[in-house]
Structure 1
Amino acid sequence: MSTQRSRPDAARSVLACSLALIAVLYLLWHRDDPHFGAALIVFVLPPLLLLAGVLRGLRAAPLWSGIAALFWFSHGVMYAWSHPELGVRPWAGIALSLAVVFSASLPGLRARFGRRSASAD
């Protein structure tokens, strides 16, 4: 077993926490919605499925988390702009979606722009 599966790194932990918090945010946001079941399927289930993939170490889970975060970001911006009476909920969605994007992208950015060893020169 690789060390990545046995001990998650910081970016993976931030990604997992962000996905869990997005699920909780949307659960609380839509708790009084007359279409609560549909809201669960559309807003709460996807981050929970992605969280399960991240925790299992599936390689595609961070990619799909970043793609889904584009939806969550757009949703948050749309509601922050058109419904300021919602307060911090849309802004929390924006912040959490940005945390997902950056934590999902960090390992790839480290691999691409990280320091090269002296033996590689």
Structure 2
Amino acid sequence: MTSARPWLLIAALALQGSLYLAWLTQGRFVLATLLVFVAPPLLLALSALGRWRHARYLSSVAALGWFSHGVMRAWTDRPDNAAAWAALLLALLIIALASGRSARARLASRRKPTAH
């Protein structure tokens, strides 16, 4: 079964990778930043574009880490924490977009009355 490409999820992942590229690559650890923060969302966007069946699940799992990182940086980088808040909110959007379809299906299956 092939499903439509999740364009909003792909766009959110690409935006997350772009945000990390612009935000975190000015420091000393550019290669580590590219490997840990920039590459995963961009690779997940490409995998969702290619309709890999685990792309949504792995996107939501990775977004939990991005969310945690955003919370930590938003708390410690005050008052200059706009990028951290953007990363945090994008992570929440990615979680919602990646798991929304399966959450709706799960809720719909619980609402169906069973015949006795």
Common topology (TM > 0.5):
yes
RMSD of equivalent CA atoms: 2.0
CA contact (8 A) 1:14 1:99 kept: no
Percent identical pairs in the alignment equals 40
| Aligned residue-pair number | 114
- Normalised by the length of structure 1, the TM-score is 0.84
Q: Does 1:102 align with 2:102?
A: no
Q: Does 1:65 align with 2:89?
A: no
Deviation per CA, 1:20-75, whole angstroms, max 9, x where unpaired?
01000000012311221111011100111111111111111110110000100000
**Alignment match, 2:12:** 18
Q: Does 1:42 align with 2:36?
A: yes
The CA distance in 2 between the partners of 1:35 and 1:55, in whole Å, is 29
Bigger relative CO (Cα 8 Å, ≥ 6 apart): 1
Equivalent in 23, 26, 37 of residue 32 of structure 1: 26
- Normalised by the length of structure 2, the TM-score is 0.87
Deviation per CA, 1:73-110, whole angstroms, max 9, x where unpaired?
00000011111133310000111000110001111012
Structure 1 runs not aligned, ≥5 long: none
Decide which structure has greater helix share.
1
Structure 2 runs not aligned, ≥5 long: none
Q: Does 1:88 align with 2:82?
A: yes
